[in-house]
A and B are shown apart, each in its own frame.
Chain A
Amino acid sequence: MSAPAVERAVERYPAHLHPAYATGVRSLRVVEVVRLTDTVRHVVLEAPDGGVLASYEPGAHLVVTTFPEVLPTEADQTEKRNAYSLTGDGVNPRRYAVSVLRRGDGGGSDWVHDALAVGDLVEVEGPRSSFAPRHDQRHALLVAGGIGVTPVLSHARAVVRWGGTCEIVYSYRPGHGAHLEDLRALAARPGVTLHEATTVEHTARVLAERFADQPLGTHAYACGPVPMLDAYVDAAAAAGWPEGRVHLERFTAPELDAGVPFTATVASTGQRLAVPPGTSLLTALLDAGHEVANLCRQGVCGECLVPVRSGALEHRDLVLSESEKSAGDRMLSCVSRGGHAGAEIEVDL
């Protein structure tokens, strides 16, 4: 009795075949390139047929395949996958926009600056959400440092779209404030306040002041360089904020030493993998033929998370919270290792 109706519906709307569900690897066309500052380029992408794109959560990023001159030494690749935060509010987009800082290291960001032009097709994957707002936030404190403004702008636009309230702290060097005009325009609306800071001391002062005066139920989000994020975490702790209200996204990781040798056992097969210093568990797993999704390979993105059954761990990533680290049941295989030289761990793969 209901079967024909279901069939008709499937005919009209094949589940998850609508283009707005597509998040796999696909090509998008560059339709606009805007120079925001001397070192930041804003790139706007559309589907080649101009159709709808997948919606995304605020703070999500798009993975872009780039062809840099200088490649990571580890592999025989000719391309690299870079993650760039989307700047829109994420609701029914027809365009994806990212803002890319030129790093000047010959990497993927330089390729975006030097090689991309309007009309080009680029290969993308996602969007992927890794820095989403909490759905029960009563108010948001959004903190941006430098190019870390991109996910913060996305959060702020979403807050405005859904009628929420937020305070934004933007720390930038004069003349290098990408999206400053966009944030000032948002701050003209009721419920949105913008605090600008242009020196390290000023930023620390504003952070201390704003953390001390946020209404109950506020969640804080920050993206920026490591020293600013350290100042952000310190200011939150000084104001008595519990860890669960303080969220951040890092885009650079500190240099790590080669680490200790350890042994990993793969639970499903019993296979034992010796992981020497200088080799990551991720590399060892991939070499042994195990499929482990990975992206940044520096403990920032969280893509290569593997479940762990037993063994002492040394967590060296910037993704897991303190409580997740102490639980000892998962690790980021790209940077984290056995807890001591000769440690035995069992990964649940």
Chain B
Amino acid sequence: MVSLSQTSLPTWAHTPQVEPVDPTGRVHTLVGVTGDGAEGDSPTGTAVREVVAGWQAASGSATLHVHLCADVAAGIAALEADLVSARVGHRVLVAGTADACLAVRAAAVRAGLADDELRFGVVAADVRTVWCVHCSATTAAAVGLDEDLTCSGCARTLVVYPHVSRRTGHHLGFMVDAEDQPWEVPA
């Protein structure tokens, strides 16, 4: 396997870790994606709340906007609402599972933020979303890098390539035995 530092995967996307608050920021938006359902607090939610509380304690005199959201869609909506009138000097910190962080990062990048304006606190990195190059379906599964999964769109067996899109937050998946297919040079 290639060295992961040579890929588009941020370190936190495969090894859970919490990055520190950037002390130079004037305003911080903190987004915690808890994954909590109707049945109450999940272990993920508890860990995410701890990360967000740690960031709040470490952010000094900067202005804070804190959003604890149940799912990625709500997290992105809260972030985008915050960024509508944001000025340079704004930082965004996202806590959650790796797939949630990648999805929110994609929205932050779309809003014009650069990598040095984003920080992440990842509490688990087992689940990945994989985008199929053959049918464009996205499949979420607990799968490791270079392992296989079945595409939810076309049922092909996909290998999870160590590349993640900044634009969508999904990993790249392609047919595992693509080289072995009967295939001829088109006339």
Contacts and interface: CB of A to CB of B under 8 A. Distances in A.
B43 to A, nearest CB: 34
B7 interface: no
Contacts of A215: 86-88, 112
B25 interface: yes
B83 to A, nearest CB: 6
Interface residues of A, number: 18
A216 interface: yes
- Chain A contact residues: helix, strand, loop or mixed: loop
Nearest to B27: A240
Interface stretch (B93-101, B113-121, B154-162): B113-121
B24 interface: yes
Interface stretch (A172-180, A241-249, A251-259): A241-249
In the complex, which of the residues B27, B88, B112 has the most CB atoms of chain A within 10 Å of its own CB atom? B88
Interface of B is mostly: loop
A138 B83 CA distance: 14
Interface string B18-58: 00001011110000000000000000000000000000000
A312 interface: no
B67 interface: no
Contacts of A237: 24
Contact of A216 (B25, B26, B86, B116): B86
B24 A216 contact: no
B133 interface: no
Max chain A CB contacts within 10 Å: which of B22, B89, B112?
A: B89
Contacts of A216: 83, 86-88, 90, 111-113
B159 to A, nearest CB: 31
Contacts of A240: 24-27, 88-91
Nearest to B108: A216
A214 interface: yes
A1 B24 CA distance: 62
A239 interface: yes
A243 B87 contact: no
B89 A212 contact: yes
Contacts of A136: 112
Listed from nearest, the 3 A-B pairs whose CB atoms lie closest are A217-B112, A240-B89, A240-B26
Interface of B: 22, 24-27, 83, 86-91, 111-114, 116-117
Interface of A: 136, 138, 211-218, 237, 239-245
7 contacts: A212-B87, A215-B86, A216-B111, A217-B112, A237-B24, A241-B88, A244-B114
